[in-house]
Amino acid sequence: MKLMILLTFVMLQAHAEGVSQSVTFSGKDVPLKKVFNEIEKQTGYVVFYNKEQLASARPVSLAVRDIPLPGFLEMLLKDQPLNFRIDGKDIILSRKAPAPPPALLAYAEPAPPIRGRVLTEDGTPLPGASVKIKGATTGTSTDSSGVFILNARAGQTLVITFVGYKEREYKVGSEQNITIVLAAEESRLDEVVVVGYGAQKKSVITSSVSTINQEAIRNTPGANIQNMLTGKVSGYFSQQRTGQPGAETTEISIRGVATYNSGTNPLVLVDDIEYNFGQFKLISADEIASISILKDAEATAIYGVKGANGVILVKTKRGKASKAQIEIRTEAGLQIPIRTFQTLGSYDVALLTNEALANDGGTAMFSERDLELFKSGEDPYGHPDVDWYNTLFRKTAPMTETNVNISGGSNRVRYFLSGGYQYMDGLLKNIDYRGREPEPNTSKVNKNYYSKRYKFRSNLDVSPTQTTTISFDITGTYHEVNAPQNNVFTSIFKYDYVRPYGYPVYNPDGSFGFGNPAIFQPAGNINNPAALSALGGYHRSYNNFINMSLVGSQKLDMILPGLSTKVSATFSYANNAERWQDRAGIPAYFYNPADSSYTPRDQSIYRINQYVMTYNGSVAGSPNSRLNIQAHLAYNKKFSGGHNVNALLLYNQTSYYAGADLPFNFLGYTYRFGYNYKERYIFSASGAYNGSDRFVTQNRFNLFPAFAVAWNGHNEDFVRDKLPFLTQFKLRASYGIVGNDNIGINEYFFENKYERSGNYYFGELPNQRTGIREGDIGNNDVSWESERKWNFGIDLGLFQNKLTITADYFDNYRYDILSQRQTLQRIFGMPTSVLPYVNLGEVKNHGYELEIGYNGNVGKLGYTVRTMVTYAKNKVIYRDDPPALYPWQDRTGLPIGVQRQYIWDGEFYTTADLQDSKVAKPVGTVRPGYLKYRDMNGDGIINVDDMAYLDRANRQTTVLSFTLGFQYEGFSISALFQAGLGGYAYVGYEAAVPFKAALQPTHLNRWTPETAETATFPALSYNFVGTYMNPNGNLSTFWTESSDYLRLRSIEFGYTFKKSVTNRLKLSNLRAFANAYNLVTWSKFYKKYQYDPEVANEQNDYIYPVTSNVNFGLTIGL
């Protein structure tokens, strides 16, 4: 408690190092040579000059403190006959050109003096900035307070420049006091990168961190920020599992996965506020300033027990000292299914049905006359042919989004406001009801899929003094997601529910059709999907959350130069609710063309009932709230001689309530220490001492340390001399231990459980009483998972960073993975479902990352080329499996997610095979054309002993991307190609098994005696699910396909209008653009099955299709 009180008054955050070195100097009549020596000593920069240049230089008298190097040089050489330029770490002097002789001018009224001040975007004065009158030789520079005085007339233009900042022009008016703000123009080395609890110069970062700015994110259309990052950040693996508006499910991992029983999601922090993935995907790209992906131990150990899976840091935009700026971005577009699901028509289905029955020794279901009528379409009611997918779903669905940002402020108060609206419609058609009885309330019900989102953000910074900043942020989101109450996707892909010949959409009287009891009755008597779509109601969810944070920052230079503190309190609240409207019954009828009779689907359902509305205001885990308190104390100091030190201490406490009275609590202490010598030799140590109440008291706390070193070779004289083309050359290495408490197990799982279960009799009366029996067995020794992480990296910049290369190799070892015991002896007397959890599992995960980028230009044409490769492969070192009977049934040494399966070598059984006793065969029915599996143990029988674990994981091991961009005057184009390689998809039996799934084009390639040499699918059986080939429980490599793919992930065309146009329109800027996402996909998976390779899994048949998004929009600045 004492430490908490102390830190509350001495709290802080680590501040980014400035864009350039600073100089402190005091002296009178000092020769320039001595001043240059002092500069080299303090900054590590080298000053190049010759004796002749200093011959006419005068001694100087200066007294300044912590002045940025460029500003100090401007002041130093203001009245000297010398100019300077900074090239990397070199300061090169040259003689000033002699001033032209004064011309004889007529007498003119002297220009009035103007007093001005030059500031940075955060309000810091810029000493030594150059201020000149455009087209004249008159000029001056700012003093140590950033103030200048210059005689200038109204209408003249001032040109303000400062090394490291963008040049600015200012037209003089009638005012006599002006303020001018310069925007930073950061180089790659001076770029400030957001890291855990602070920021650092890129040149001194020792860890593996990838960053992406707002511009790179925003040129990708889509509702989900998780998808916008795909292919743009190394180490980022993502798989989009569905395209349903508002319910987009994307699985994310950083550098692959390394655990098989616990959560694999990375930690997500938005402005240091922890977000869950449901909240993260709703962030608007328009409010994001940057995103950092922290990957190695040195970057993530600062988050301790939450850092093992990597960390995603999102920083939102903040206001700057400037006049109010308003930016409006509005766009509208279409969602288009990447693939349209194709099913066979009634004629082909009838042919295959008769063939399958004949293979089984049965009789044909359809006569020749039936086949003729299916083929001709002459009898649409008795012999319908319905393409249910195209009947129910349209080819496109609209989407729109509008966002407004307002920012500005003064040195004292700065603000950023953002508000936005997004709407995404679904692909479901508006099915008409044409029955005789009117439908009640039809106009009030939206039964389509849709997503509706409103969001706002307010970031306010107040600086009552130059050393104090108080920030108050508030953000909120309202998200509404709608879907049909009866998920039509569930039915249209299932052969037991829907068949093309089963019934027509409508009967002659407009009522909905239903099956002929003599030919087809859907399983469970499920209704006509068109009737369910038109009259079945909706299921709607409401997700709301609000975050508020109050942050106070204080520089403490009066106590110790470089010391600062920060304290923050954050409160988050989320509430989820749902409402649905349903009907107890929807009438549908079998129409018999022979006698024009109508037979109801259900004898008790003859009318359309009123909707029954149900509201659930307390979804499981809702409402939930989070209270977080942090106290920082930071130190950042540059010492003479090139020594730089930074340090951070942090107290962090969180209480999280999730729809229950008992909270989850977290407590942590964090530290970081960094040292560098002239930005050449860099050392960093960081870590956290964390505690979580998920575990028993004695196991709640642990230390997670990390260390890193780096060497900036480009700052060495011998490297610069030998390799002058090297702009950047850095070697990095890090090691540390991080944890994962995202174990997905109930609270207090370490305790023994007792259940109310079973009955007993008490006394003489025959009354049963509920008993109590032993449940799950606890284990007081359990704790979180831990991971040892190694990382080795190199950063290269060549030819003034036109060519950049970053490479990393990582080797991670996850241990103490929580697993439920599986190998206790039967004498233990308890089922495996109640056995205790123990820290037993071990997984190794290793790989590499490579990024190569090149920026260049040919005349006015600029271009950018960038490629990225990430490879991550895991293997299980140990899991508590019973000993395998055969080595091929041991999954140790194989990736996480492998499944046991038969091995199909591409052959089908022939008649000769069935007659040959030496050919291994499964027990039961085997016919010519059935799948022929490998006899692994050579016993002549295909059974479970021949199933093997193979190196076929269900996740990609490699992500590739290639980005190409061009800019010409106001035009721009960029394209991103992204590939996922090394993964396999297990196709479920309800996705492709004939007569269980809807019959598809792949089933036309089945084995027959005539197609035995070319067939790609086994011979058909009407009871295919009853054969040994059914993948449900008998998975084989036949049903396992490579899910490799290549996508044109995004492309954007844009045009920024010239200033002459925007000035006439009274706008600050105007840009038009068109972009697309998931535009084209190439994958072998499509050749056999119709499911998207990212979606593919055992439940393909239930999935809303992934879509391409095409948008057109405008960005307007006011």
Q: Does domain 113-182 bear CATH number 2.60.40.1120?
A: yes
Name the residue with tokens 């960093």. 684
Label residue 109 by pLDDT band (50, 70, 90). low
Q: Do the domains 22-95 and 113-182 sit in the same CATH topology, yes or no?
A: no
- Which of 94-108, 238-252, 767-781, 857-871 has the highest average model confidence (pLDDT)? 857-871
Task: Report whether pLDDT(16) > 50.
Answer: no
In percent, the amount of the chain with pLDDT more than 70 equals: 90
pLDDT tens digits for 977-1033?
A: 999 999 998 887 777 889 988 899 999 999 999 999 999 999 999 999 999 999 888
pLDDT for the residue numbered 764: 59
pLDDT tens digits for 769-795?
A: 777 777 778 788 888 889 999 999 999
Secondary structure (3-state) at 148: strand
**CA distances from residue 1088 to 126, 356, 1038, 1039 in whole angstroms, order as listed:** 65, 20, 11, 10
User: Which two three-digit tokens encode residue 111?
Assistant: 């220009």
Task: Report whether pLDDT(602) > 50.
Answer: yes
Give the up-direction half-sphere exposure of residue 688: CA atoms within 13 A in the CB hemisphere.
29
Task: Please say whether the beta carbons of 178 and 166 come within 8 A.
Answer: no
pLDDT for the residue numbered 760: 66
pLDDT mean over 259-279: 87
- Which of 163-172, 611-620, 859-868 has the highest average model confidence (pLDDT)? 859-868
Task: Please say whether the beta carbons of 359 and 927 come within 8 A.
Answer: yes
Note the pTM of the prediction, 2 decimals.
0.80
pLDDT mean over 170-175: 83
In percent, the amount of the chain with pLDDT more than 90 equals: 41
pLDDT for the residue numbered 223: 63
| Alpha helices in 312-461, H assignment, sequence order | 346-359, 368-376, 388-392
1060 CB contacts (<8 Å, ≥6 apart)? none
Report the C-alpha gap between 690 and 688 in whole angstroms. 6
- How far is C-alpha 310 from the chain's CA centre? 12
Task: Please say whether the beta carbons of 288 and 268 come within 8 A.
Answer: no
User: Which two three-digit tokens encode residue 1011?
Assistant: 């197609």
273 CB contacts (<8 Å, ≥6 apart)? 547, 549, 570, 572, 628
Q: Name the region of 876 (left: φ>0; alpha: ψ -120 to 50; beta: rest).
A: beta
Task: Please say whether the beta carbons of 855 and 797 come within 8 A.
Answer: no
pLDDT tens digits for 386-436?
A: 999 899 999 999 999 999 999 998 888 999 999 999 999 999 998 888 776
pLDDT for the residue numbered 1116: 93
pLDDT mean over 355-376: 94
Better pLDDT: 38 or 789: 789
Task: Please say whether the beta carbons of 554 and 468 come within 8 A.
Answer: yes
Report the C-alpha gap between 43 and 1075 in whole angstroms. 46
Classify the C-alpha dihedral 715-718-720-726 as positive or negative: negative
Report the C-alpha gap between 736 and 493 in whole angstroms. 49
Strands of 826-899 (E only): list them. 837-858, 861-878
The DSSP bridge pattern shows strands 1045-1056 and 971-981 to be antiparallel
Task: Please say whether the beta carbons of 954 and 983 come within 8 A.
Answer: yes
Mean pLDDT of the chain: 85
Q: Give me the DSSP letters along 886-917.
A: SGGG--TTS-TT--EEBPEEEEE--HHHHH-T
For residue 262, give the nearest of 627, 665, 694 by alpha carbon: 694
Task: Report whether pLDDT(5) > 60.
Answer: no
Residue 6 host element (H or E): helix 2-9
pLDDT for the residue numbered 19: 33
pLDDT for the residue numbered 832: 67
Task: Report whether pLDDT(327) > 90.
Answer: yes
Label residue 299 by pLDDT band (50, 70, 90). very high
Task: Report whether pLDDT(10) > 60.
Answer: no
Task: Report whether pLDDT(440) > 70.
Answer: no
Report the C-alpha gap between 9 and 570 in whole angstroms. 17
pLDDT for the residue numbered 369: 93
Report the C-alpha gap between 961 and 963 in whole angstroms. 7
For residue 739, give the nearest of 693, 705, 782, 779 by alpha carbon: 705
pLDDT mean over 617-630: 78
Number of C-beta neighbours around residue 752 at 10 A: 14
Task: Report whether pLDDT(318) > 60.
Answer: yes
DSSP state of 889: G
pLDDT for the residue numbered 633: 94
Task: Please say whether the beta carbons of 928 and 916 come within 8 A.
Answer: no
pLDDT tens digits for 726-758?
A: 888 999 999 999 998 887 666 677 777 777 776
Task: Please say whether the beta carbons of 415 and 408 come within 8 A.
Answer: yes
| Alpha helices in 902-1032, H assignment, sequence order | 911-915, 989-992
Task: Report whether pLDDT(364) > 80.
Answer: yes
For residue 737, give the nearest of 691, 686, 669 by alpha carbon: 686
pLDDT tens digits for 920-944?
A: 999 889 999 999 999 999 999 999 9
For residue 287, give the nearest of 30, 459, 87, 527 by alpha carbon: 459
Number of C-beta neighbours around residue 781 at 10 A: 14
Helix 346-359 to helix 368-376 angle (10° resolution) is: 160
CATH of 22-95, one of 3.40.50.720, 3.30.2130.10, 1.20.1250.20, 3.55.50.30: 3.55.50.30
Q: Write down the domain spans for the chain.
A: 22-95, 113-182
pLDDT for the residue numbered 20: 41
pLDDT for the residue numbered 441: 57
Task: Report whether pLDDT(706) > 80.
Answer: yes
Task: Report whether pLDDT(1046) > 60.
Answer: yes
pLDDT mean over 237-258: 86
Task: Report whether pLDDT(15) > 60.
Answer: no
